[in-house]
A and B are shown apart, each in its own frame.
Chain A
Amino acid sequence: MSKALISIEGLIKRFPMGNSEFTALKGFDLKIEQGEFCGLVGPSGSGKTTVLNIIGSLDIPSEGKVNVLGNDISSLTPKAAAKLRNEHIGFIFQTYNLLPVYTVYENVELPLLLLGYGKEKRKKMIMDALEWVDLIDKRDSRPSQLSGGESQRVAVARAMVKRPEVVLADEPTANLDSKNSFNILSMMENLNKELKTTFLFATHDEKVMKYLRRKISLVDGKIAKDEIIK
């Protein structure tokens, strides 16, 4: 077995709630390898997004060890965490989170600007990404001029443009109709196969589950089932 891209051991996450604490993740182990197309599934409040946030170095564990691409999440400085996200992780959100004042092109360009790439290199990578999601003709549009499906495709392009090792997608189809959901998922599946990018979803959408090759079921902050789907 190859070395895990993401390795979680005894992960516990507590949140302050008034005078007490709420334990969202109750201690579990998990390994995700390169090229996987897997999902954390479960009902609302099961801890799916919390796991994604910790893997994405947006949050830290209360206890346990989370290692992403050789980085111990607990010991990362804010700058190192930002570098990890910038260089290796792409995010896709339920509400797209496109920057409203930027055009499609500029939204997709943003991660590359943060990486400090030159103009020509950026242009080529952006055009490639827009081609993957079939949005070249919308490059000068603003998010307010796009449909939900188009907006999510821009979000996929933005996540994929820098060709990250991992893409974390939090309920990416929750705001989309069936047709757009399948389009998006097919697109991500193709990118996974073509670029060997690891995709980790947090979802409770049946449509997404149909595409997953590994389904990790979370119930009350614990892994209830971890199954490979053939």
Chain B
Amino acid sequence: MLSIKLAFRNLVGAGKRAWLNIIVLSIVYVMIIFMVGMIKGVFGGIEHDTQVMEYGNGQYWSEDYDPHDPINLRDYHQSYTQYKAYFTPDVAAPILITPATVYTEGRSSGALLKGIVPEQTVMQMPTEKLLTKSNYIPAMIGKQMAKHANLAEGDIITLQVRDKKGVFDAVDAEVVYIMQHDIQTVDNGQIWIPLDELQDLLGMKNEATLITVSEDFDHQISGWEFKDLDFLLADIRLLTFQKSTGAAIMYVMMLGMAAMSIFDTQMLAVFRRKKEIGTLIALGMTQRHVKALFTIEGIYYAILGIAIGLVYGIPLLLYTSIKGINYGSFAEDMGVNLGSIIYPEVSLSLIINVTIVVAVIIMVVSYLPARSISKLNPTQVLKGK
């Protein structure tokens, strides 16, 4: 108890250097919580959004379908006629994919033309918009696609595809809806049209490239390869792991620097305050007692750093987790389903975990320099030697 009291007095009286350490530690502490919260917020969001918007509860892929082989994409399709009766809009959504060339304002660009059942509810895409009456094929695109191709709702685009005869044919489509979500994997370079329109165009009635199913779909489709969420989300999870590891290295470095600063201060304190150590021993403290005093002084850095961090950090973190952080166009260039507004996920368990890690590290770096007090000769340190 006495050591706690004296250590606090020493710390309060220690001046600017001590307070500088405490403030640096508090910043590091808040930054670590923020960074971990950001990673959780970003990648937790990406995984969830990708799942509900694109993967449902898994996908059946047609034989040999390779999403990374756009050149031969037109060849990956097969019939689902015998299972069609099971494909109600709420449990299964067949998707037919073919490469296409889009002509807008006299310019052409490559795109993926995707046919989907407008009534489907397996994926949280507003495909019902494809039921909009139009003199052309109703088409739906994402906001990024609209931005890059300079398209607006009501615009007419010309799509060139290889038709059922295998020759290139051009059809017009009307952009009936622009999706406003941030899921880039159903946005960039993609045009969604009603499935039957695309099947007619390609002469592939009752054929699909893949079938996205909900968790209520309880049939087996033979001849199709089922890909579960672990498989479909593997890339995102790998990216999450890589980014988390990278961030972990960064915050270990930040914490390391704060810890080194406190270690250095403590080392210097033991060296500079030798006479004080000798005096405390002469006044009746044991060396163990003095060692505890110095260690507790170091622990106060952790306590005050964390306390100050909590005072300004909690409101700041709460504010950012509610309001989010607008990354604007930076998010669009990431190539993943990163929303332009990111909401850090700051939980009580995250704060407790980071607090424990910071406190333990600071305790260790406070104890290590204090250990040398045991080796000091009281008669020598009384003279400051």
Contacts and interface: CB of A to CB of B under 8 A. Distances in A.
Interface string A1-13: 0000000000000
Contact of B278 (A50, A79, A97): A97
A101 B284 contact: no
A58 B378 contact: yes
A11 to B, nearest CB: 15
A114 B286 CA distance: 11
A59 B283 CA distance: 14
A85 B279 contact: no
B295 interface: no
A25 B379 CA distance: 15
B281 A110 contact: no
Contacts of A56: 282
B285 A97 contact: no
Interface string A93-117: 1010101111000100011011110
A50 B278 CA distance: 15
B14 interface: yes
A116 B281 CA distance: 16
B162 interface: no
A67 interface: no
B236 to A, nearest CB: 54
Contacts of B10: 101
Given A58-B379, A97-B382, A99-B276, A113 B6 contact: yes
B266 interface: no
B279 A97 contact: yes
Given A53-B379, A101-B10, A58 B5 contact: no
Interface string B284-304: 111111000000000000000
B2 interface: yes
Interface string A39-68: 000000000011001001011000000000
The residue in B9, B283, B382 that gathers the most chain A C-beta atoms within 10 A of its C-beta is B283
Contacts of B281: 58, 82, 85
A114 B284 contact: yes
A180 to B, nearest CB: 21
Contact of B284 (A83, A93, A106): A83
Given A79-B286, A82-B285, A111-B283, A101 B379 contact: no
Given A101-B10, A101-B14, A93 B283 contact: no
A59 B379 contact: yes
The residue in B285, B378, B384 that gathers the most chain A C-beta atoms within 10 A of its C-beta is B378
B13 interface: yes
Contact of B13 (A85, A102, A158): A102
A143 to B, nearest CB: 11
Contact of A91 (B2, B6, B12, B282): B282
Contacts of B276: 97, 99-100
Interface in A64-90: 78-79, 82-83, 85-87
Nearest to A170: B382
Contacts of B283: 85-86, 91, 110-111, 114, 158
Interface of A: 49-50, 53, 56, 58-59, 78-79, 82-83, 85-87, 91, 93, 95, 97, 99-102, 106, 110-111, 113-116, 158
26 contacts: A56-B282, A58-B281, A58-B379, A59-B379, A78-B287, A79-B286, A82-B286, A82-B289, A85-B283, A86-B283, A91-B279, A91-B282, A91-B283, A93-B279, A93-B382, A95-B384, A97-B275, A97-B276, A97-B278, A99-B276, A100-B276, A101-B12, A101-B14, A102-B13, A111-B284, A114-B284
**10 closest residue pairs by CB, A with B:** A86-B284, A101-B13, A97-B279, A82-B286, A91-B282, A53-B379, A85-B284, A114-B284, A58-B378, A78-B286
